[in-house]
Chains A and B, each alone.
Chain A
Amino acid sequence: MTQHQNHGDHNHGSLKSYVIGFILSIVLTIIPLVLVMNQMMEKTALVITIMVMAILQFVVQLFFFMHIREGEKPRYNVQTLILGLVIVFTIVAGSIWIMMFNKY
């Protein structure tokens, strides 16, 4: 109940959201660690699983730590991020793809 005091514009986040984000991040770090150290899966499945965990943790940090949703209405920050991610994806996937033909 007392949480409702002075809810100003720049009152981003709460202790609760940081703690939840922190716990989720720890869980998402420990799971791939245990999977890899004990070789609990076949290799391709393992690579996909730990990449998904890393991306999930990125999303957790984006929402719980960086407060991506709380920007002003034309969300230029989200637009910039999406553009950046498209460029990163293109560079990484494109490099891997094109260089596969170089390994005969």
Chain B
Amino acid sequence: MANHHDHSHGHDHHEEHEQLKVLGFWIFVVTDCILFGTLFATYAVMMNSFAGGPTGKELFEMPGIIASTFILLTSSFTSGLAVLAMNKGKVNELIAWLAVTAALGLAFVVLEVNEFTHLVHEGATMATSGYWSSFFTLVGTHGLHVSIGLFWMVGLMMQLKRRGITAVTRRKITNLSLYWHFLDVVWIFLFTVVYLMGVM
């Protein structure tokens, strides 16, 4: 009896600790938000500093940008479906939705690499002007976040395969989906401020 009590108490404590870690991760996400805030501020200041070089309006190819916007939006949705599958305790469904999310994320990164290659071929590199420096820093930092998220996702899928849904893997999936939704939110502002305002 006493033993059982101890065990359940220990379990509660463990759950509480995991929830605290989710809060800690949330605080990281907020600080990351501040990082993007500073990059957006730099971009806003550099918005018209083309130094006689090419402008965004001349070089942006909207079809690819629109495609990547909907791809990332859908992947944010599928990462939510992964969390739903986790709450239902279905580990295979969870891994499947994570795989879909990762595939969409990979497609997004590939499109971004293509876009950057295109821009560099057209003569817009990081050293071209203040505008392009801030553009590549801002968009590139977001792309780097998505790429890191992909490695994290694949690692978690392997861990889920081996350990199943535990308090620890549950917390990690919760954090990953928070991170992924956050990246989608950052992209919404990138899409609006950089691309839509850029081609206006």
A residues lining the B interface (CB < 8 Å): 10-15, 18, 21-22, 25-26, 29, 32-33, 36-37, 39, 43, 46-47, 50-51, 53-54, 57-58, 61-62, 65-66, 72, 76-77, 80-81, 83-85, 87-89, 91-92, 94-96, 99
Check if B33 sits within 8 Å of A88, measured CB to CB.
yes
Given A13-B83, A25-B77, A77-B23, 8 other A-B residues pairs in contact with their CB atoms under 8 A: A10-B170, A18-B77, A22-B74, A65-B76, A65-B80, A88-B37, A89-B37, A95-B42
Contact present for A92 and B80 (CB under 8 Å): no
* Minimum CB–CB distance for B93 against chain A, Å: 12
Task: Tell me the complex Cα distance, A86–B181, Å.
Answer: 20
C-beta contact mask, B14-25 vs A, less than 8 Å → 1, else 0?
000001000100
Measured between C-beta atoms, what is the minimum distance from B190 to chain A in Å? 10
CB pair B185–A61 under 8 Å, yes or no, is: yes
CB distance from B135 to the nearest CB of A (A): 16
* Interface assignment of B66: CB less than 8 Å from any CB of chain A: yes
> Interface residues, chain B, CB within 8 Å of chain A?
19, 23, 26-27, 30-31, 33-34, 36-38, 40-42, 44-45, 62, 66, 69-70, 73-74, 76-77, 80-81, 83-84, 87, 170, 178, 181-182, 184-185, 188-189, 191-193, 196-197, 199-200
Query: Contact: B44 with A92, CB < 8 Å?
Result: yes
In the bound complex, how far is the Cα of B33 from the Cα of A11, in angstroms? 27
B31 CB contacts on chain A under 8 angstroms: 84
Q: Which residues of B contact A72 (CB under 8 A)?
A: 19
With A50-B197, A81-B30 as given contacts, are A33 and B66 in contact (CB-CB < 8 Å)? yes
* Cβ-closest 8 pairs across A and B: A88-B37, A84-B30, A95-B41, A54-B192, A22-B77, A18-B80, A99-B45, A92-B41
Contacts of A46 in B (CB 8 A): 200
Query: Complex Cα distance A76/B29, Å?
Result: 13
B84 near A26: Cβ-Cβ < 8 Å? no
CB closest chain-A residue, reference B18:
A10
Complex CA distance for A14 and B200, rounded to whole angstroms: 38
- Complex: how many Å from CA A57 to CA B191? 12
